[in-house]
C-alpha cells in the first residue's frame, strides 16, 4: 500500500518546479529531455573530474566537453569509487575532492557503464544545460518518460481518466494544502509519479451500495532509481493533502528495466493500461461486495481486540473507529463487516485532523479491507 501514500509524500516533498500544472506541460518537458540526450558506454576509468568553474564537473580523460553532476549521479559516482557522499561532498574542499575522485576512479574494478547525458526540464518548461544524469550498467534498458506518457495519452485519458485533483477538504477553488490547484503530476531528474482517476464515481454499486472511482498510479525512473510500475485500484476520495482514501482491489505491476528492447517493456506497460477501463469489472464488484458481507468480528469488543492485536491500533483509537463506523458517511455498510470497520478507521482518522494519523490510518483501512479477501 506504500505507493498509495506516496501521492501525499510527492506533494509535500517535491520542489515546486517538479509539480506540473497540466499533463501537456509534463509531456512537453519529457519530450524535450528525450530529444536532448546522449547515451555513452565506456569504462568508468575513462572519466576525469575538474573544478575549473568552481563546480564539480566530469569529462572523458582525453578531454572535450565537461558536464555538471546531479545530486543523484554524484551519489552514483561516490558509490562506484567506494566513498561516502558526505565525505567527498562536505568534508573535503572541492579541489581536494577532485584530486581524490581522479585517483580513485582509475582503480575501479569492472567499471563498464552506460552514461546518460542530458537535460532536465522543469514545470515552468525551462531547460537547463545537459548534465550527467545517471550511470547504469550497459544492460540497463531505459524507458523514457516521454514514451510512457504517450501511452497514458493514448490509453488512459481517452477512457475517462484525468490527472487526479482533490475531491474533498479543499477550498472553493479546489486548492490543495499548498494553495495551488495543480493535479497529481510530478516529474524531476530522478523520476516521474502521476495519478489519474475518473472524476465521477462509477454508477455501479460499490461496497455498501456506495459508488466508487477508478484510479491508476504510474511511476518511472529514467535514471535507474526504480522500476517502471503501475498501481490500479478503486477509491472513494482524494484529500487536499493528496491522501487517497478508501483504496480497494489494488493491483500492482512492476516492470524491471532489463531486456534488449524498451519496446518490449512499453508493450507490457500498454497491456496493463488497457485493463484500466472506467467501469468496474465484475470481479472487482464481487470483491467490494465481499468486504461488506465478510464479518470482521462477532462483536464490537472482539473487533476492538482484533484491531489492537492484528492492526496495531491503540485501544482508545479502536473504540473511536467503532463509534465512527456508525457515522452517516458510512451508511450502507453492514455492521461489523470488514468494509464497516475499515470505513470507521478512516472516518476516525479524518476526525483527528492530524496529517500523520490520516496517512497511517488510510493504509490500515486498506489492510483491513484486503483482509476480507
Rounded to whole angstroms, how far apart are CA atoms 147 and 269?
A: 11
Which cell is 113 given? 557503464
Residues 359 and 5 sit within 8 Å (Cβ to Cβ): yes
Rounded to whole angstroms, how far apart are CA atoms 345 and 269?
A: 34
Domain locations in the chain? 2-30+143-282, 37-118, 292-371
pLDDT band at 286 (very low <50, low <70, confident <90, very high): confident
pLDDT at 302 over 80: yes
Per-residue pLDDT at 339:
87
What residues have CB less than 8 Å from 354, skipping those under 6 apart? none
pLDDT band at 329 (very low <50, low <70, confident <90, very high): confident
Per-residue pLDDT at 153:
94
Which residue has cell 493514448? Answer: 154
Rounded to whole angstroms, how far apart are CA atoms 42 and 25?
A: 34
What residues have CB less than 8 Å from 172, skipping those under 6 apart? none
Question: What does 150-194 look like in DSSP terms, one character per residue?
Answer: HHHHHHTGGGT-EE----SS--TT---TTS----SEEE-SS-EEE
CA 230 → CA 194, 271, 343, distances in Å?
A: 10, 11, 25
Rounded to whole angstroms, how far apart are CA atoms 4 and 221?
A: 18
Which residue has cell 526540464? Answer: 121
Residues 297 and 307 sit within 8 Å (Cβ to Cβ): no
Q: What is the pLDDT of residues 201-229, one digit of tens each?
A: 876 555 566 788 999 999 999 999 989 99
Question: H or E stretch including 356?
Answer: helix 355-371
Q: Which is nearest to 21 in space by CA: 240, 187, 161, 133?
A: 187
Rounded to whole angstroms, how far apart are CA atoms 89 and 76?
A: 13
Per-residue pLDDT at 13:
94
pLDDT at 2 over 80: no
Q: What is the pLDDT of residues 63-86, one digit of tens each?
A: 889 999 999 999 999 988 888 887
What residues have CB less than 8 Å from 351, skipping those under 6 apart? 320, 324
β-strands 67-69, 131-136: how paired? parallel
Q: What is the DSSP letter of 337?
A: B
Sheet of strand 67-69, all strands in order from the earlier edge strand to the far edge:
37-43, 112-118, 131-136, 67-69, 57-60, 47-50
Q: What is the pLDDT of residues 90-135, one digit of tens each?
A: 788 899 999 999 999 998 887 789 999 999 999 999 999 999 999 9
Q: What is the pLDDT of residues 133-167, one digit of tens each?
A: 999 998 899 999 999 999 999 989 988 899 999 99
Which cell is 83 given? 566513498
Rounded to whole angstroms, how far apart are CA atoms 123 and 14?
A: 12
CA 282 → CA 128, 231, 285, distances in Å?
A: 49, 19, 5
CA 289 → CA 26, 49, 274, 356, distances in Å?
A: 38, 61, 24, 30
Give the three-state DSSP class for 59: strand
Which cell is 369 given? 479491507
Rounded to whole angstroms, how far apart are CA atoms 174 and 196?
A: 17
pLDDT at 1 over 50: no
CA 232 → CA 47, 75, 163, 251, 274, distances in Å?
A: 42, 32, 14, 5, 11
Amino acid at each position: 500500500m506504500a505507493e498509495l501514500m506516496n501521492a501525499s509524500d510527492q506533494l509535500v516533498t517535491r520542489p515546486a518546479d517538479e509539480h506540473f500544472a497540466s499533463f501537456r506541460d509534463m509531456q512537453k518537458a519529457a519530450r524535450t529531455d528525450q530529444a536532448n540526450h546522449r547515451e555513452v558506454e565506456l569504462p568508468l576509468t575513462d572519466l576525469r573530474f575538474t573544478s575549473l568553474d568552481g563546480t564539480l564537473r566530469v569529462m572523458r580523460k582525453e578531454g572535450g566537453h565537461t558536464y555538471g553532476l546531479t545530486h543523484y549521479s554524484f551519489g552514483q559516482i561516490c558509490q562506484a569509487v567506494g566513498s561516502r557522499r558526505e565525505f567527498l561532498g562536505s568534508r573535503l574542499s572541492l579541489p581536494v575532492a577532485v584530486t581524490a575522485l581522479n585517483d580513485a576512479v582509475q582503480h575501479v574494478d569492472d567499471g563498464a557503464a552506460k552514461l546518460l547525458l542530458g537535460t532536465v526540464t522543469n514545470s515552468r518548461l525551462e531547460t537547463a544545460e545537459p548534465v550527467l544524469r545517471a550511470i547504469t550498467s550497459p544492460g540497463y534498458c531505459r524507458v523514457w518518460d516521454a514514451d510512457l506518457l504517450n501511452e497514458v495519452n493514448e490509453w488512459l485519458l481517452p477512457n475517462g481518466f484525468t490527472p487526479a485533483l482533490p475531491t474533498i477538504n479543499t477550498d472553493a477553488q479546489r486548492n490543495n494544502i499548498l494553495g495551488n490547484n495543480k493535479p497529481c503530476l510530478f516529474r524531476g531528474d530522478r523520476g516521474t509519479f502521476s495519478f489519474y482517476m475518473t472524476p465521477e464515481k462509477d454508477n455501479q454499486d460499490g461496497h455498501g451500495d456506495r459508488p466508487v472511482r477508478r484510479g491508476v498510479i504510474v511511476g518511472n525512473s529514467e535514471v535507474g532509481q526504480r522500476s517502471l510500475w503501475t498501481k490500479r485500484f478503486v477509491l472513494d476520495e482524494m484529500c487536499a493533502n493528496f491522501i487517497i482514501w478508501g483504496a480497494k482491489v489494488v493491483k500492482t505491476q512492476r516492470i524491471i528495466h532489463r531486456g534488449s528492447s524498451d519496446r518490449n517493456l512499453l508493450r507490457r506497460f500498454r497491456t496493463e493500461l488497457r485493463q484500466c477501463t472506467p467501469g468496474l469489472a465484475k470481479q472487482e464488484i464481487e470483491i467490494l461486495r465481499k468486504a461488506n458481507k465478510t464479518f470482521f468480528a462477532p462483536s464490537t469488543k472482539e473487533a476492538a481486540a482484533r484491531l489492537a492485536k492484528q492492526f496495531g491500533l491503540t485501544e482508545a483509537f479502536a473504540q473511536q473507529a467503532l463509534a465512527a463506523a456508525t457515522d452517516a458517511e458510512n451508511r450502507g455498510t453492514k455492521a461489523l463487516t470488514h468494509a464497516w470497520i475499515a470505513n470507521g478507521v478512516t472516518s476516525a482518522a479524518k476526525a483527528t485532523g492530524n496529517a500523520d494519523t490520516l496517512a497511517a490510518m488510510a493504509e490500515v483501512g486498506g489492510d483491513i479491507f484486503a483482509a476480507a479477501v
